[in-house]
Amino acid sequence: MKRILLALTFALLVSGIALAQTGRTDGTEESEFGKGGYPFAGQDNRFYLNTSFGSGFFKTPGLTDTQTGFLYGIDLGFEMDQWLGVQAGYTYLSDRDLSIFSLGSRFAYTYEPFVYHVSLSAGLYDPKIGSTNFGLAPGAGVDIIVNDRVRLGLDYKHDFIFTDNITTDMDRVYAGLKFFF
């Protein structure tokens, strides 16, 4: 899974260098129909793929030690406007053998070349051993705009995992590549 994600990230980075085709006024008559927008900045209504690699830090109430684990994941999102998007994702924490399936929204503010964002997602936390639990994960992060299609991001999320008796806290810090298409 890790190797697939790494290969996908590399493939997205390479293909992201190519710029989208734009309209021109020196074409045939009426060839300008359907063309427009502003090709020199970000666009609206775009899907994106976000690969992430990082670490998760666990703190279970009643225990003094903090466990850490390697984290990798992939998100598929839709940016309906420069400031608003929704995304669904899968994250895997190796140390706890924990899979996280999440769905949430993302609010962003662009101040080029940075995009600052906050997010809120709901997720199902499915460990290999134990029962599946529901949780909420607010987060924040910053992306660096590499070009119109590629962004490099650093994110932080705090997970509140609700079980029958206690709530487990988890912090996730991860870096990732976001590719728009």
The residue ranges that bind other proteins (CB under 8 A) are: 22-26, 29, 32, 35-40, 57, 59, 66, 81-84, 108-111, 114, 116, 140-142, 154, 156, 169, 171, 173
Q: How far is the CB of 40 from other proteins (least distance, A)?
A: 6
Cβ–Cβ under 8 Å, residues 181 and 19: no
Between 40 and 164, name the residue whose CB sits nearer to other proteins.
40
Q: How far is the CB of 95 from other proteins (least distance, A)?
A: 15
Q: How far is the CB of 179 from other proteins (least distance, A)?
A: 21
Which residue type, as a one-letter code, is found at position 165?
A: N
Between 57 and 90, name the residue whose CB sits nearer to other proteins.
57
> Cα separation of 7 and 124, whole Å?
26
Report how far apart, in Å, the C-alpha atoms of 99 and of each of 23, 102, 111 are: 44, 10, 34
Q: How far is the CB of 146 from other proteins (least distance, A)?
A: 15
Which residue type, as a one-letter code, is found at position 139?
A: G
Q: What are 164's two structure tokens? A: 């029958």
Between 12 and 56, name the residue whose CB sits nearer to other proteins.
56
> Cα separation of 51 and 42, whole Å?
20
> Cα separation of 102 and 90, whole Å?
6
Q: What angle do CA 65, 71, 72 make, to 5 degrees?
A: 175
Between 112 and 164, name the residue whose CB sits nearer to other proteins.
112
Q: How far is the CB of 127 from other proteins (least distance, A)?
A: 20
Between 44 and 97, name the residue whose CB sits nearer to other proteins.
44
Which residue type, as a one-letter code, is found at position 17?
A: I
Which residue type, as a one-letter code, is found at position 143?
A: D
